[in-house]
Every structure is written in structure tokens, then in C-alpha cells.
Amino acid sequence: MKVVKENTVIKCIHGVRKDHIGYGAITRDGIGCYCCGEVFSVASFPRHRGDIFVDKPYENLFIEETKVSLLSCQIEAWNRHSVPARSGYHHVVRRPRVKDNSDDSCVICADGGDLICCDNCPSTYHLKCLGFKGVPEDEWLCPYCRCKYCDRDTVKDVLLTCFQCLKKYHGQCSNKFDKIPSRPQPLTIPFCGNGCWQVYQKLENMLGRNMPTRDGYSWTLIRKMDLDSVGQNSEDLYLKATCNSTIVLAAKLMEESFKLIVDRQTRTNMIQSVIYNCGMNFSRFYTAILQFQGKIISVASLRLPSPELTEIPFIATTEGQRSKGMCKMLLGALEIALIKIGVESIVIPSSEEMEENWQKKFGFEPLDEAMNRKLTNLNTLMFPKTIRLQKVIKHVKKMMLHHDLNLGLVEEKRYSKLLRLCISLFQETSLMFPGNREAEALIRVSSRVSNMHAAQMMNNE
């Protein structure tokens, strides 16, 4: 299945000048430089060879023998990848000679016992988890099979499924109850309201961006993306190829960190289903990656089942970096980003032995009654023998500094540092790219400074 073999010779091309700037060889840990013998990540190698403004390293690294870029190798590796990475959906097959195909555990708490069954889907619930005092006498539909607005409960209703929160809704109800500014029309993707559409847009705009945290660490938000090189511009193709190749590594780390968890209905690996977004119950998950010098340190799966809430079912750290604050660094960066999106609370599942750790070190608390009621009507994941914890993050917003040119001395000093750095970068550029290439180089520098400013805004003290 390997597309590029170990010790393959790599040629590095400058991103602007397009001339050859160095050679290296593929190793298990990155690219070994021929000039100094040190090993660098794919992102760091072009900078080491002098292309300090490189933003698409896989496009500028080529196999010396075949002249094929590492970007093309990424695409080929993804196309060869098996399991659910490229399949998209798992289908629930009804068991033969079994009259009752309903689930055997509660959707809310994941435990078995006396359960009430939905008349439209396999979902089952404890009466207590729903807050019911008795079993409904007539036909009953679960919260996922009802319109989120009118709560109508007839099987004959034609309901749409929101692409972001996965809740069912009537088109006419959305137009009636969603009074805030309307979404662009016509919509090719169904959204139940403007809130979900805005969340989707903000998350998608973050995809693939390298966002610095501190001490040389950075984090990126990715998801599995359909990869088809036909009819796509180079920007889209590069983003999709790099996201998908990183997703494979994230899934590997997750599977190494957790015991196998099998979905009750599809009998498939739940970690793979979450990472690769396979099936309706596992769609709309994103993966946050904490990296250091191109190496993955921590990963977290997250989904927003409502504009105000984020669930994080899985988070893992590489074995050599555990108990060093890496998980806390990734969660801290996520919290700041989620606050800017409008999220107010984070919910996680926890084993009993880890509950105290989550509460003391990360600030999570047991679910309050309001959150319990909210989760009853949302599409979230729950696992057997776990408890849910929540963390309210909306209060943090009040303590965050707002970056603006009209702010006080602290912000002015930060802008002064950025301006001094900008000047030095332009001076470097004028020396490296004389003549007519200077204009193109200045554009690249401006883009870098802009990204740094965005990173400053995402990392308020």
C-alpha cells in the first residue's frame, strides 16, 4: 500500500523562484537533509533549505526519479486507502428472522433494561431518561424523528435533515420560526436555521489553517473531504489532500489510545466511523490536531449538535507526550475558537476513574438539569459505562481581550511588535527577490503577517 518508499530521494523546489534548492531522502520520521544529515518534517524541510515563506510544501517537494510531487503521492495514497475512510456510510442491515430490530440500549445513557421503542427508527429510550411517567398509548416517535420546531409526530410527515445539527425539520416551519436574517437562497444544502448555517460557515473557514498556540506548537481543524481532482482548483485539491492524509494519522493515534468500541447497530468500529464521518449518526465530526514541528501530538474529535453546544467524544495524545499538558493545550485552543463561533458549553463522556481528573484539571462538572434536558433532544454520542460531564465556556468570553487598533497600551505594544516583525520580513524579502519578483514576494509576506495577526486574536491571554 506504500506509495513512497523509505530512502526515496526528494528534490525541493522554491515556491516562488521555482528553482532547485536542495535534496533529501524519505525516512520514517520525515525528510533527511543531504547537506546536514538532520531530519525535518515535510513542512520544515523547505524552510530549512531557504524557502522561508513556503505555505504548500507538498506541492514543492518532488521524487527525483519520477518527478512526481508529494501532493500527488498523498492523493494516490488516499485513493488506495481501505476501510471506512472512503466509503461514506454504513447501512444498518436488519437481522434475519428477528421481529424486533430496535436497539437494545438507551440512546441517552447507553444502558439496557426496560426501553420504549420509536415507531419510525431503531432508537430506544428509558422512560426516566425522557422524563416520561408512563408509556405512550398511541404511536410514538423519538426526538430525532420529530420536527425541531413544531414537534409534530406523524410518520407521514416529510422532514428534512439539517446538514449541521442533524435535527429533522419541516421547510415551512424553518421559514416560520427562524426569524433571524435568512440564509442565502437557494440553498443546495439543507439547514434548519440561520444559526446552523453560520456555524457551518465558520467551521469550514477554519479548515486546514495552521493556528499557533505557544512554544512552537500549533493546531489545525480538519475533516474527511471528498477527493476528486477533476474540476477542482489547486487550492481546493491541496486542502483536501492534506486534510485526508492527516485524518489517517489521527485515526491511527485514536485507535492506539482506546480499546475497540463497536457500534450496536452497524457492528463497526466507532472511532473510525467518527473520524471518517461514516453514517448519519457519525456525520459532521471534525478533528482538531495539535502539532509540533509537523508531528502530531494530540487529536480530538468534535461536533456541534447545536450552535451553542460542542461534544468531544474522543481525545488522545501520543504516548511519549502524555501527562505533559498537551491535552490541556489543545482543549484550551479549541475553547477560544469555539467561543468565537458562539459555543457556550462543551460536553464529554468520561469513565468513572477519569471523572475526578476531568473535573480538577480541566474544569468539567456533572451535567446540570438544563443540560440533561437539552441533550435529550440532540444527536450526541454516548458509550456504555460512562458518564457525561460539561464545561461552561461562555463566561470566558468576558475575560478575553478584544483586539482593535483603538485599544490601550497592551494592544499597542502587540501591534508594534507585529509591525517591527513585518519590517524585518520585508527587508529579508527585498534581498532574496530582486527586481520584478519582489512584488510577488511581498504578497506572500503580507499573507504571513495576516495569519500571524489572526493567530494573535485566537490566542488572547
**Per-residue pLDDT of the chain in tens (461 residues, 90 and over written 9):** 467 888 999 999 998 888 899 999 999 888 999 999 999 988 889 989 988 877 788 888 999 988 888 888 887 777 766 544 445 444 444 444 445 567 777 888 878 888 888 888 888 888 888 888 888 888 888 888 888 888 775 656 678 888 888 888 887 787 777 655 555 554 567 888 888 989 999 999 999 888 999 888 999 999 988 765 444 556 678 888 888 888 988 999 999 999 888 776 667 788 888 998 887 678 899 999 999 988 899 999 999 999 999 999 999 999 999 999 999 999 999 999 999 999 999 999 999 999 999 999 999 999 998 998 888 888 888 888 889 999 999 765 444 434 333 333 344 444 455 555 554 555 444 444 444 454 445 545 555 555 555 555 555 44
In this prediction, residue 303 carries a pLDDT of 96
Q: Identify whether 169 is part of a domain.
A: no
Place of cell 409534530: 152
Same domain as 363, residue 222: yes
SS3 call for 154: coil
Same domain as 354, residue 445: no
Residues 6+ apart with CB under 8 A from 243: 207, 208, 222, 223, 224, 225
Same domain as 344, residue 227: yes
Same domain as 438, residue 303: no
Whether the full predicted model's pTM is greater than 0.85, yes or no, is no
Same domain as 380, residue 326: yes
SS (H, E, C) 218-258: EEEEECCCCCCCCCCCHHHHHHHHHHHHHHHHHHHHHHHHC
Q: Is 299 exposed, middle or buried (0-12, 13-18, 19+ CB in 10 A)?
A: buried
In this prediction, residue 227 carries a pLDDT of 61
Same domain as 392, residue 243: yes
Q: Identify whether 101 is part of a domain.
A: no
Same domain as 437, residue 315: no
Cα distances (angstroms) measured from residue 434 to each of 34, 151, 297, 444? 28, 67, 39, 15
Q: Identify whether 365 is part of a domain.
A: yes
Give the span between the Cα atoms of 242 and 75, in whole angstroms: 9
Q: Identify whether 262 is part of a domain.
A: yes
CB 44 within 8 A of CB 37: no
Residue-number span of the structural domain to which 57 is assigned: 9-75
Same domain as 436, residue 383: no
CA 42 to centroid of chain Cα atoms: 21
Same domain as 374, residue 417: no
Same domain as 373, residue 226: yes
Helix, strand, coil shares of the chain, percent, nearest 5, are 35, 20, 45
Give the span between the Cα atoms of 47 and 95, in whole angstroms: 57
Same domain as 451, residue 323: no
Question: Which residue, 381, 399, 417, sits at the end of a domain?
Answer: 399
SS3 call for 77: helix
Place of cell 462538572: 365
How far is the first Cα of the chain from the last one, in angstroms, to the nearest whole number?
A: 45
Same domain as 343, residue 438: no
Domain count, the chain: 3
Question: Which residue, 399, 432, 449, sits at the end of a domain?
Answer: 399
